[in-house]
Amino acid sequence: MKKEKIRKKAQHWQTRLLSFLKWILFSIIIGIVIGGGVGTLFYYAMKWSTQTRMAHSWLLFLLPVGGLLIAWLYQFCGVKKSRGTNLVLLAIRSSQPLPTYMAPLIFISTTITHLFGGSAGREGAALQIGGSLGYGAGKLFKLDEKSLHVMTLCGMGSVFSALFGMPVVAAVFALEVVSVGEMYYSALVPVAISCLLAAGVSNWFGAQPVHFTLVAVKNIHFLPFLQVALLAALCALVAVLFCYAMHLSGYLYQRYLTNPYIRILVGSAFVIVLTLLLHTTDYEGAGGDVINRALNGHTHPEAFLLKILLTALTLGAGFKGGEIVPSFYIGATFGCWMGSVIGLDPCLGAAVGLLSVFCGVVNCPLTALLLGCSIFGYSGAPYFFLACAISYALSGYTGLYSEQTILYSKFHPQYINKKAE
């Protein structure tokens, strides 16, 4: 009996070791090829499109042409209704296939959106590019369904990591965003390795990590904690407003403008007219410059509302990109303004707002905390921790991604397993 037990244990350890080595090999391939290669290419495509648009403001008037091209590309590929990141999240939890052609489609479409001045981010595209290519690599290696889910997670995290230069944040986000309340720890090793390699390769090719400057928080006091708590609660409401605006815009566009070409032309007209009326290009693209200004204590009270409106009008019409960097913009500008209103340092308010709105729209408090420490440093970690916790709870069950599942109640210790609203 003892020999039999020893033999079985040896077989178990051999199986585990082979599985471990297999996933190391696959994660290296994904991290270097998909994350480092495609992710870095996407980084430079975004950089080129942003710099070109800023150098030639007249490109905004070609937004309808870019929109028609995007609509035609999706129609040509047979995509009648684009589900975007929601399709990636669904593919991780089920047998839903993830077409590989999704990667070049979203890559080209997001570049077009940014080039011609659409108000959008880029990280949603990164998740879709990485997820579809990771899934496709799994199919190429003829892996089983559960292994395909892990490959998809590796692809998501690696391209996100290459684009933002934050491997730890990217890895945790990929593991946390699919099902809130449950981390995919079985994918921890391959996702971690692929994200680290992707960030290393993109850095080697000259890609710069996302970084914002925040004056160090020197002292932790009771009053700022109360102010941060109040600001985080207000940011949770802003996060809910942003989510509802995104969902409502898509619904209204599709209900009243069923033709995708007409829909995207109307959306283009809205964006162009509003941009001309506002006499500023602050709302075009992701808005990194505006975020930096807010973190230095300078913003306009209406900036967060206008960014919500223009992002909803852009993405709801059929343009492609992401919602996460716009959530940074919305949170930073709101936090800077409201922070000064309630007596909190506006720079700290902008940082807290950025993290709180992000946490509220993606329901990922751990990712939000790590994000804050990564881009702002650890001196403000106690404030960030409190803000993320409050925003997570008070944003309720709303979320940007309708296929995201929230497994446990935010208010009671019970299992609910419901989709984000």
User: Which pLDDT does position 228 carry in this prediction?
Assistant: 95
The CATH topology of domain 2-204 is: Clc chloride channel (1.10.3080)
- φ/ψ of 418, rounded to 5, equals -120, 155
Tokens describing residue 416: 């609910």
Q: Flag whether the pTM goes above 0.85.
A: yes
Q: Position 176: which residue type?
A: E
- Asked if 314 and 109 touch (Cβ cutoff 8 Å), the reply is no
Q: Position 215: which residue type?
A: V
Check residue 32 and report its DSSP letter. Answer: I
- Asked if 291 and 212 touch (Cβ cutoff 8 Å), the reply is yes
- Asked if 331 and 355 touch (Cβ cutoff 8 Å), the reply is yes
The CATH-assigned architecture of domain 222-419 is Orthogonal Bundle (1.10)
Check residue 78 and report its DSSP letter. Answer: T
CA atoms lying within 13 Å on the CB side of residue 125? 31
Helix, strand or coil, per DSSP, at residue 272:
helix
Q: How far apart are CA 148 and CA 135, in angstroms?
A: 6
- Asked if 326 and 360 touch (Cβ cutoff 8 Å), the reply is no
- Do 222-419 and 2-204 fall under one CATH topology? yes
Q: How far apart are CA 63 and CA 227, in angstroms?
A: 42
Shortest CA distance to 320 belongs to which of 58, 61, 45? 45
pLDDT in tens, the chain (421 residues): 567 677 777 777 888 888 889 999 999 999 999 999 999 999 999 999 999 999 999 999 999 999 999 999 999 988 877 778 888 888 888 888 888 889 999 999 999 999 999 999 888 889 999 999 999 999 999 999 899 999 999 999 999 999 999 999 999 999 999 988 888 888 999 999 999 999 999 999 998 887 776 655 666 778 889 999 999 999 999 999 999 999 999 999 999 999 999 999 999 999 999 999 999 999 998 888 999 999 999 999 999 999 999 999 999 999 998 889 999 999 999 999 999 999 999 999 999 999 999 999 999 999 999 999 988 888 889 999 999 999 999 999 999 998 899 988 898 888 888 888 8
Shortest CA distance to 197 belongs to which of 65, 33, 377? 33
Query: How far from chain centre, in Å, is Cα 311?
Result: 14
SS (H, E, C) 312-342: HHHHHHCCCCCCHHHHHHHHHHHHHHHHHHC
Helix-then-strand count for the chain, H and E:
17, 3
**Would you list the domain boundaries of the chain?**
2-204, 222-419
- Asked if 339 and 348 touch (Cβ cutoff 8 Å), the reply is yes
- φ/ψ of 287, rounded to 5, equals 90, 35
Shortest CA distance to 268 belongs to which of 306, 314, 305? 314
Q: How far apart are CA 151 and CA 27, in angstroms?
A: 8
CA atoms lying within 13 Å on the CB side of residue 202? 31
Virtual CA dihedral for 309, 312, 316, 320, nearest 10 degrees? 120
